[in-house]
């Protein structure tokens, strides 16, 4: 264990902007000095009385700091919801040194990164600033969190909060004139494939807001993700992946849309992005830990705008198939001279490949359905849930798959270990899946798809609903995803039991 030196300092602040309520924001031009260590533009809060401010990230100018050799005091935990005021002097010294270093390396304990992150949350979500100053800094905070995500991304919990924070900020400020396609592209490259659905919605919504025409290649790539296009691919798989298809499509696209195709969008709460803060001291006027949802323009919800493009795509497939008919052994066509009554030649077909292709197409369509659902008419709920409201806590759930699951709610809640008021916050359609999820520590993509198909649900929709519920009621995610595997956070259940 590294011993703490006896020399104590008190932090000094130079510059900064008064946020009211005793808080001082140390942004561009501000300095935080402690002994010989100076943190320039540390992007955090400071106060002479941080306890009264209720901000976990706030650096106190009255609490002593011990500046040792820069090592983290070994064996000293920061707690589940760490804060600057609960640190001991040695830990405060380590934290200020980390701020002064530019946060370029992972701290010894991820709790230090969370304390810093709490301040960025407050600044981005609550501070109003003067003459839009806070809005200008929003984009600096986005870039800072992107950088921090790459530095501290080894922590699954921190990575999950940082990813969702970035998605929410981009959604909330999508129509800001300072938003750029590069920022969205950087986010797309930085975040994992599990976030691809919402990222696609952001990119398309941005293009619609900008009224920016799509290039032929962009329109082609978009069409290939639509569920209706999957049908055309399944009919002629070799042609739908042919490099010649894009060339044919581009020529037709330029004839139909000489100025390019522009997207139109609709707005509605069904296409919104929500976020629950990581900070234990941050709350909103609504009394919750979630700011108002950010509504994203729904491009794919207006499916009718793609009909002409879809017809062009299908025509190109047919033209390509016609040119290469001798090489395509899918359809047997009679041709040439033959003796009357002579049977047509049989072409061998591998039915296992046909079955595999059909299953692959069905899975693709299901996975994309959560993103490409038309908003003009809301589809029926895949899980028609009917709960008995007579007050006895029992009910029947009709899964829409011909199954009537009699739920004894008292038994289910006891088995899952959640109080009734906690479980009631989760939509009852997800209860059967939640019960199954808790019985297995890790879920890969295949197992999760099998589970959700049994109840007529979608894997990503299920995990997003469960994690949003657990973050709001239990304080953290119940499952964390890494490389396509969802892992149960058993320590969260242990804390609940305690």
- What's the pLDDT at 291? 92
Q: Which two tokens stand for residue 176?
A: 């800001």
Cβ(15)–Cβ(30) under 8 Å? yes
- d(C-alpha 496, C-alpha 498), whole Å: 5
In this model, does residue 343 exceed pLDDT 70? no
- The residue that leads in pLDDT, 369 or 490, is 490
Tell me phi and psi for residue 130, to 5 degrees.
-110, 130
Task: Tell me how far CA of residue 389 lies from CA of 238, 395, 404, 427, 430, in angstroms.
Answer: 54, 8, 17, 15, 18
Alpha helices (H) along 405-489: 409-416, 420-423, 431-437, 445-454, 459-474
pLDDT digit string (tens) for 156-166? 999 999 999 99
The gap between the terminal CA atoms of the chain, to the nearest Å, is 30
- d(C-alpha 424, C-alpha 428), whole Å: 8
Please count the residues of the chain.
498
> In sequence order, what are the beta bridge partners of 487?
442, 480
Question: Who's near 14: CB < 8 A, 6+ residues apart?
Answer: 30, 31, 33
pLDDT digit string (tens) for 300-311? 778 788 888 888
- The residue that leads in pLDDT, 37 or 493, is 37
pLDDT band at 112, cuts 50/70/90? very high
Q: Which two tokens stand for residue 351?
A: 């039915």
- What's the pLDDT at 423? 78
Q: Which two tokens stand for residue 402?
A: 């011909």
In this model, does residue 53 exceed pLDDT 80? no
pTM for the structure as a whole:
0.64
In this model, does residue 181 exceed pLDDT 50? yes
Query: In the predicted model, what is the mean pLDDT of residues 255-265?
Result: 91
**90-94, 175-179, 213-217, 336-340: least confidently modelled range:** 336-340
In this model, does residue 325 exceed pLDDT 60? no
Grouping H, G, I as helix, E, B as strand and the rest as coil, residue 32 is strand
Cβ(493)–Cβ(437) under 8 Å? no
pLDDT digit string (tens) for 121-152? 999 998 864 434 455 689 999 999 999 999 99
Q: Which two tokens stand for residue 398?
A: 């009709």
Query: In the predicted model, what is the mean pLDDT of residues 265-276?
Result: 85
- d(C-alpha 17, C-alpha 24), whole Å: 6
pLDDT band at 496, cuts 50/70/90? low
- d(C-alpha 291, C-alpha 429), whole Å: 25
Cβ(435)–Cβ(412) under 8 Å? yes
- d(C-alpha 450, C-alpha 446), whole Å: 6
Cβ(496)–Cβ(417) under 8 Å? yes
- d(C-alpha 138, C-alpha 425), whole Å: 32
Grouping H, G, I as helix, E, B as strand and the rest as coil, residue 258 is coil
Average pLDDT, the chain: 76
- What's the pLDDT at 233? 53
Cβ(375)–Cβ(271) under 8 Å? yes
């Amino acid at each position: 264990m590294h011993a703490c030196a006896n020399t104590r300092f008190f932090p000094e602040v130079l510059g900064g902007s008064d946020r009211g309520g005793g808080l001082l924001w140390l942004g561009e031009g501000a300095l935080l000095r402690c002994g010989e260590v100076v943190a320039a533009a540390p992007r955090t809060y400071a106060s002479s009385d941080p306890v009264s401010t209720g901000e976990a990230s706030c650096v106190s100018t009255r609490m002593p700091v011990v500046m040792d050799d820069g090592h983290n005091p070994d064996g000293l935990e920061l707690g589940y919801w760490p804060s600057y005021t609960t640190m001991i002097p040695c830990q405060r010294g380590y934290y200020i040194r980390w701020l002064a270093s530019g946060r370029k390396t992972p701290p010894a304990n991820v709790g230090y990164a969370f304390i810093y992150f709490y301040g960025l949350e407050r600044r981005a979500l609550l501070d109003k600033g003067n003459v839009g100053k806070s809005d200008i800094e929003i984009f600096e905070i986005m870039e800072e969190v992107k950088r921090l995500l790459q530095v501290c991304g080894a922590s699954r919990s921190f990575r999950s909060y940082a990813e969702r924070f970035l998605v929410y900020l981009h959604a909330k400020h999508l129509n800001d004139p300072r938003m750029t396609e590069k920022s969205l592209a950087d986010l797309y490259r930085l975040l994992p494939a599990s976030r691809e659905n919402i990222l696609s919605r952001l990119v398309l919504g941005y293009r619609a807001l900008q009224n920016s025409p799509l290039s032929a290649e962009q329109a082609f790539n978009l069409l290939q993700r639509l569920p209706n296009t999957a049908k055309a691919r399944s009919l002629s798989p070799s042609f739908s992946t042919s490099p010649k298809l894009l060339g044919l499509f581009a020529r037709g696209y330029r004839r139909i849309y000489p100025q390019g195709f522009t997207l139109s969008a609709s707005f509605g709460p069904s296409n919104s992005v929500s976020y629950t803060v990581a900070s234990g001291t941050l709350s909103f006027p609504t009394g919750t830990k979630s700011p108002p949802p950010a509504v994203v323009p729904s491009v794919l919800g207006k499916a009718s705008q793609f009909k002409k493009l879809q017809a062009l795509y299908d025509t190109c497939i047919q033209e390509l198939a016609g040119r290469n008919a001798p090489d395509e052994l899918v359809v047997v066509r009679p041709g040439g001279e033959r003796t009357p009554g002579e049977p047509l030649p049989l072409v061998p077909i591998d039915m296992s490949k046909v079955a595999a292709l059909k299953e692959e197409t069905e899975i693709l369509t299901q996975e994309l359905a959560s993103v490409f659902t038309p908003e003009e008419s809301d589809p029926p709920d895949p899980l028609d849930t009917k709960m008995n409201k007579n007050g006895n806590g029992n009910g029947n759930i009709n899964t829409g798959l011909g199954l009537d699951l009699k739920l004894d709610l008292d038994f289910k809640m006891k088995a899952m270990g959640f109080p009734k008021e906690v479980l009631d916050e989760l939509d009852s359609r997800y209860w059967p899946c939640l019960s199954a999820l808790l019985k297995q520590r890790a879920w890969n993509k295949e197992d999760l798809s099998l589970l959700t198909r049994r109840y007529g649900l979608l894997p990503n929709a299920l995990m997003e609903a469960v994690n949003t519920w657990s973050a709001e009621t239990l304080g953290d995610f119940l499952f964390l995803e890494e490389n396509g595997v969802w892992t149960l956070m058993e320590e969260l259940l242990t804390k609940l039991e305690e």
